[in-house]
Structure 1
Amino acid sequence: MAFDLIETLKNLFNTEFAGKAASQLGESESGIQKALGGIIPTVLTGLLNKAGSGDAGGLMGLVRDAAGADLSKLGNIAGGLPAGLLAKGSEFLQSLFGNKSGDIAGAVASYAGIKPQSADTLMQAAAPAALGVIGKHAESTGLGTSGLLEMLNSQKDKILAAVPSGLGLAGLLGVGSLGDIGGKISSLAGSLKGAANSVDHSVEEAASGGSKWVTWLIIAIAAILLLWWLLRGCGAKEHTTVATADSLTVMEDTASHMAPAAAAPVVRESIKVTLPDGKVLDAYKGGIEDQLVQFLQNPNAAAGKDVWFDFDNLNFQTGSAQITPESQVQINNLAAILQAFPKTKIKVGGYTDATGDAKKNKQLSQDRATAVVTALSAANVKPVQLLGAEGYGSQFAKAAADAPDEERKLDRHISVSVREK
């Protein structure tokens, strides 16, 4: 039986799933079913749009990343939708739709008669499921980037036809019509096929010893360059951090030689930070509370995976991921900020300096980032706002291992990335 993306995903998000999701999200089962009927082709259209825009290599990276997703959890969600899958889903949606994912979720909610938050949660489940299904198919059949494009091109008509007209998806994606997306991917797939044929033909001519072998060699090289250009992915972006003004250490002495840093020799100015819900926080000028609230209230400041804010009053017990009691103040402050800005979604990152064992440092940074997410959850932050934790170890350390501790301490921190606001 031929592989059918739409039908495979419909089987995953079946009536049983809709019933359980409706119970979890406080929606009607018919509303959930209608929403899924729009979400499945919408997510797949996002895949087509990304591929047709010349980022087939980037899409292949997403597919491979999602191939290991445990989709069996979708069949048993009595205890709630799997948090790990939702966290991945939010990242995938950001890659597919950028800052339009919220608008698309709103359109789905209006179309299906459900809450925008419910539509957003369903989209977060559907995105890794769609990519995971494609990834597993690619692995089992040995598909490369060109094969992936051919497969999507063969199914584009059914996918685009399944998008409900009431969603206005073309306008949200910034295209004249959904047919434009289909046209782009058809053109790209045709270019790849033509380039591959040129390479094959050139090789045959060279092997035959024809007098025009130099000409064909040039054509072959040009075709290979064309393939490279079409299949190249997006380059890795530099991971940047918005540092607090008077950054204190957030990682104390550990078995991995992350030495404690002394508090900055300045007197920090205490301030009051007022939240939209009227709650007032005790904080420091230039601290994470001050910077984060200003960022969230600024309509011109865009959320994204490359903008991070450092905790500046968060510490751990020596050599462990146990948060010290006095650090709970800043945990509670961040929880209050997230509650006051319910649309905000964050990811927590852990970092170390370049000294010690890299593997141990990375594991410790992961454990500490996870501990912060756990603490925020315990402080009643909604699960949908917490997009997971990741330990980067010394990957982004700027100071050399033999640099003075005054320089290395800046590399030891826990940070928060605002992915949506």
Structure 2
Amino acid sequence: MSEATASASDAHISATVPLSVPAHRDPNVLRWVAAYTASMVGDTVFYLALSWAAVQNGSPAEAGIVTAVSAVPRALLMLGGGVVADRFGPRRVVIGSDAVRCVTVLAVAAVLFATDPGLWLLALLAVVFGAVDAVFMPAVGALPARITGKDQLARVQGMRGLAIRFAAVVGAPLGGLGVAVGGAAAAFAGAGLLIAVSVPLLLFVRMRELPADDTTAARDTTAWRDLVGGLRYVRRHRVLGPLMVAIALGDLGFVGPLNVGLTLLADERGWGASGMGWVLAGFGTGAGVAALLLTVRGRVPRAGSVAAGALVPGAAAIGALPHAPGLPAAVGIAVAVGLLTGLSGAMCGALLQTQSEPVYLGRVTAVGGIVSLGVAPLSMPLSAAAVGVWGTGPVFAVSAAVCALGGVVALAAPGVRRAELPG
């Protein structure tokens, strides 16, 4: 079953969205962006509250396990989540996911207000949140192509990037305020209410109907065939297949240095926590500028070449970071890393949206999510161990080489290199 064959109660929101309306002026897209922003801010508050509560109720090692355990069901179930998004419709799945997340977080907040159950409840909450994320993330990735025209998808990716940056900037202070005022319970309650804001907004987001052939195909196959068919579709596609390889290599080279590697670099260079914060702020600023550029411009010519080409100098900037002569130079390099990798990432996201047939978008997004959330995090412990043996310089250099290889793979693929966004 697909959203296009849903009950008549959804008919009033299935109107066709005009192609000519720029996404940043389209009320339908703006409702989705507002809902997504509220949900992302709630996510940020949630993870801060979870970390705080875990630290207060256990040892550092136990707290680390609690905060990381949500990644397991998310990685294991995400391909299935992509099938769910494609079969039942991304809007319906996102609404249901946000509703479940909201109720779960508010229930835990109520329990924490009444008693102190210990780490087991926090671990259970993390597992539930990760499992719901496994269907939420593919559905979120499949929504843009169903609410606006293909010619607006690059702009929507820019708007989505701005929402993520806004959530990172606003969510942490809100979570800290909640903890300061009423402890972890108050912060969880705030997270639940923020996620709840997204539900009524999503109820009024209008959806494009899939072509009749696509809805019939989605209805007549089994879930297992859907999953296998989605993987086969990505593997055989002249753009999506090599693009997924490029994304995997880019994320593998990027995640380690910009997470655990940066912490170790700041300690090695004597920048301290504040210095690390300035470098992260530089990265966020660059990524925000890239998102704003796409939001305003809407379309970038030679999108495939830009996505691949921006990754190579971005990788070079990653390799240069440990050799910065001082903190100001490191911040400047971080801005360049954020700008170039942010531009590449947004263009890759737009290409995934425009090159995929709508009936496959949930599964295509799920494959990308597995790459980013399942494969790339493996580089963090490896980066930490390697820094301990060889130091930051060689490790950042290897990471930069891996990241650059992703750009080379994309540039070597004619389908990616010649890919264009609809005009």
TM-score, normalised to structure 1, is 0.28
**Greater Rg over alpha carbons, structure:** 1
Greater helix fraction, Structure 1 or Structure 2: 2
Structure showing greater relative contact order (alpha-carbon pairs closer than 8 Å, 6 or more residues apart): 2
TM-score with structure 2 setting the length: 0.28
Higher strand share: 1
